[in-house]
Amino acid sequence: MELELRGITKRFPGIVANDHVDLTIRSGEILGLLGENGAGKSTLMNILYGLYSADEGEILLDGVRQSFTSPSDAVAAGIGMVHQHFMLVPVFTVAENVILGVEPTGALDRLDMATARRQVLEISHQYGLELDPDALIADLPVGIQQRVEIIKVLFRNADFVIFDEPTAVLTPQEIEGFFGILRSLRDDGKGIVFITHKLGEVLEVADRINVLRRGAVVGHVVPSEADQSTLAQMMVGRPVDLVVTKAPATPGTPVLQVEHLVVADDTKVLVNDVSLEVRAGEIVAVAGVQGNGQTALVEALTGLRPVVAGTIVLDGADVTGAQPRQLHQAGVAHIPEDRERSGLVSDFTVAENMVLDSYYEPGYSSRGVMDWDAVHHHAEQLVEAYDIRIPGVDTVTSALSGGTKQKVIVAREFREAPKLVIASQPTRGIDVGSIENIHERIVAQRDAGVAVLIVSTELDEVMALADRIVVMYRGAIVGEFDAATATTGEIGLYMAGGTSDDVPAAATAGAAGEGARADGPS
């Protein structure tokens, strides 16, 4: 079978998201789809899946023109999509989630759960997606939840499956298992679209690779004829340095000291007896699968969540329980995990967002009256210094790409020399060019003597940036490593709850040296 997109064009106010895109997806093949933020990948797949309608162009299945007005039309034509953010009901079982909306029925139209369980088990055995159909989703790790999403698609008889950033929440071991699943689906004749920003992954698993830039296809290659540098240049339109270049750290005195920290919500402990230290002139990275307490840890360190027990000391002063403004004034810079919710006000201009943490300071306001000329001048200086490419500082932030928004936050937080930088998921969801820029900025802060704490679920990023690495699992720190000697296999096992006793000697030796550079941008 062959699924073909011809001349797909989609326009939004002020932008052409897809510009006469041609794309072919074949049965028994994995097609890698790459592109910067805003390149048009998601729009194109949303058109294929019936979420958007194209302004021009057509979709053909084995030469027959299709008309998808909703996802149900696409599903009926044999197209499935596994979204980056899982669409599962936590209090339902695996089987209940899989059949939701297409429930098998028996006599008197009664729900036939026995048939549902049997079909789920048959699919899981066929594709090596072993799981318990009676397990609650809330009790499953993310790698198993992803299997449930795949079975949902296969249960609906998909011939073509779109995977949108499928490895973003997986450990290295889970990623290898996922690649095995992709190959199994391909070998069974499924057509696969694999959307990712991890260049090493697409080179490893794809049969063909298409690259989008500014809404248009700019190249298509086979992995044997390309490398990460080639793909990055195709995506961005210029050479990109994929290696984080940094000299060895020269740590100074402790800037951040956390002792026996406990953080909880109304139902459970989120951070359990965590102690760590970050010194001036070093980068400490917290690695772990999302949902193991990292978010609560950062919120406690930045004054956004109360502390149940323990102490936080900043440059010798106890700041436990301090408010965000107090911490900012004490020299803490914070790049938040969610730029949309916590980093920016989307309806504000770039100039306004540049002073969100300092609008009350002399020079920007006096007696409650803003000096907008000073605010604009300040923003223009930062835009130039940080190479933020926008029409002007009066541009509304909601109109910017993810990478540009992140650079606005970085510019604001680094505008004055901080004592401590806390950066949570600093390059999540942004393109290789912006990743390169932000990594350089973070290393420059370290080299200027700033203490840097990075929290990232991207192990490649952790290995590339960190001088020391700690791993969080179920709210606790379960391991600490020197980044110069650590391996991805070793850290990945700790991320999954393992210990050094679980690390095969051959795997550790084979992974040696991986900490020296990133496996492509994360």
DSSP one-letter string for 207-256: SEEEEEETTEEEEEE-GGG--HHHHHHHHHSS----S---PPP---SEEE
Nearest of 496, 439, 501 to residue 143 by alpha carbon: 496
Query: How many CB atoms are closer than 10 A to CB 116?
Result: 22
Average pLDDT value for the chain: 88
How high is the pLDDT of residue 429? 67
How high is the pLDDT of residue 400? 81
Assigned CATH topology for domain 241-331+418-522: Rossmann fold (3.40.50)
Question: H or E stretch including 75?
Answer: helix 71-76
CB 78 within 8 A of CB 191: no
Structure token pair of residue 288: 């772990």
User: Strand pairing of 2-12 and 15-26?
Assistant: antiparallel
* Residue ranges for the chain with pLDDT beneath 50: 503-522
Q: Give me the half-sphere count of Cα atoms (radius 13 Å) on the Cβ side of residue 194.
A: 28
| CATH node for 2-236 | 3.40.50.300
Write the DSSP string, 115-152: HHHHHHHHHHHHTT----TTSBGGGS-HHHHHHHHHHH
How high is the pLDDT of residue 322? 95
How high is the pLDDT of residue 518? 33
Examine domains 2-236 and 241-331+418-522 and report if their fold is the same.
yes
Tell me the whole-structure pTM to 2 decimals: 0.69
Please list the residues that pair with 213 across neighbouring strands: 216
Backbone angles phi, psi at 389, to 5 degrees: -90, 100
How high is the pLDDT of residue 83? 81
Structure token pair of residue 386: 């940080």
How high is the pLDDT of residue 501? 59
Could you state, in order of their start, the residue ranges of all structural domains in the chain?
Answer: 2-236, 241-331+418-522, 347-417
Structure token pair of residue 447: 């080299």
CB 409 within 8 A of CB 335: yes
Q: How far is CA 341 from each of CA 222, 289, 336, rounded to the nearest angstrom? A: 39, 21, 9
Structure token pair of residue 489: 């296999």
Helices 372-385, 402-413: crossing angle, 10 deg rounding: 110
Q: How far is CA 452 from each of CA 117, 119, 153, 369, 403, rounded to the nearest angstrom? A: 49, 50, 42, 35, 21
